[in-house]
Structure 1
Amino acid sequence: MGRKKTPRWLEAARLRKGPVSPGGRADWLARALGRAGVMPRTEAERAIREGRVEVGGQVEREPFAPVQPGVEVRVDGRLCELEAPLLVLMFHKPAGVIVAGKDPEGVGTVFERLRAVLPAELQGFEWYAIGRLDRDTTGLLLFTNDERVVQHGTSPETHLPKRYVAEVAGRPSEEALARLREGLVLEDGPTRPAGARLLGPEQVELVLTEGRHHQVKRMLAAVGHPVRALHRVAVGSLVLDVPVGAWRRLSASEVSVGLGFNDVRA
Structure 2
Amino acid sequence: MTRKQRTPRWLEAARLRGAGTPEGERADWLSRALGRAGVMPRAEAERAILEGRVELNGHITREPFAPVGPDARVRVDGEPQRLQAPTRAVMLHKPGGLVVHGSDPEGVGTVFEHLTARLSPALRGFEWLAVGRLDRDTTGLLLFTNDERLVRHATAPQTHLPKRYVARVAGRPGDAAMGRLRDGVVLDDGLTRPAQARLREPDVVELVLTEGRHHQVKRMLAAVGHPVVSLHREAVGDVVLDVAEGAWRALREDEVAQGLRFAAAP
For 2:234, the equivalent position in structure 1 comes to: 233
**What is aligned with 1:44?**
45
User: Match for residue 74 of structure 2?
Assistant: 73
The equivalent residue for 1:194 is: 195
The offset of 1:7, in angstroms, is 4.1
Matched residue pairs, number? 261
| Residues 1:204 and 2:197 are matched in the alignment | no
In structure 2, the residue matched to 1:119 is 120
Which amino acid in the other structure matches residue 225 of structure 2? G
Is this contact kept in 1: 2:11–2:67, CA < 8 A? no
Q: How far off its partner does 1:59 sit?
A: 0.4
Higher mean C-alpha deviation, range 23-32 or range 216-225: 23-32
Aligned to 2:83: 82
Instruction: Give the 3 Å change call, closer, same or farther, for CA 218–12 of structure 1 in structure 2.
Output: farther
Percentage of identical aligned residues = 68
Give the Å deviation of 1:70.
2.3
* 1:155-176: CA deviation from partner (whole Å, max 9, x where unpaired): 0110000000000011100110
Quote the residue 2:97 is aligned against: 96
CA distance in 2, matches of 1:9, 1:241: 38
TM-score, with normalisation over the residues of structure 1? Answer: 0.93
Where 1:230 maps in the other structure, the secondary structure is strand
In structure 1, how many angstroms separate the alpha carbons of the residues matched to 2:108 and 2:11? 32
Q: Distance in 1 between matches of 2:216 and 2:202?
A: 22
Q: Deviation at 1:82?
A: 1.2
1:166 matched to which residue of 2?
Answer: 167
| Contact persistence 1:53–1:59 (CA under 8 A) | yes
1:60 corresponds to: 61
Q: Distance in 1 between matches of 2:232 and 2:128?
A: 22
User: Which residue identity does 1:233 align to in structure 2?
Assistant: E
Q: CA deviation at 1:65?
A: 0.4
Counterpart-to-counterpart distance in 2, 1:99 and 1:245: 14
Any conservation in 2 of the 1:198–1:205 contact (CA below 8 Å)? yes
What is the RMSD computed on CA atoms of the aligned residues? 1.8
Aligned partner letter, 2:187: L
1:117 match: secondary structure: coil
> Could you say what secondary structure the match of 1:261 adopts?
coil
Find the counterpart in structure 2 of residue 155 from structure 1.
156
Off by >3 Å, runs of 4+ in structure 1: 4-21
The one-letter code sitting in structure 1 at the alignment partner of 2:55 is E
For 2:42 and 2:197, locate their aligned partners in 1 and report how far apart those are by CA, in whole Å.
Answer: 41
**Unaligned stretches of 5+ residues in structure 2:** none
Q: Report the CA distance between 1:5 and its aligned residue.
A: 8.2
What amino acid is aligned across from residue 220 of structure 1 in structure 2?
L
Q: In structure 2, what residue type is equivalent to 1:62?
A: E
Q: Report the equivalent of 2:244.
A: 243
In the alignment, is the contact (CA less than 8 A) between 1:56 and 1:72 conserved in 2?
Answer: yes
Distance 1:20 1:7 in 2: 13
Give unpaired runs (5+ residues) of structure 1. none
Whichever residue aligns with residue 224 of structure 2, its letter is: V
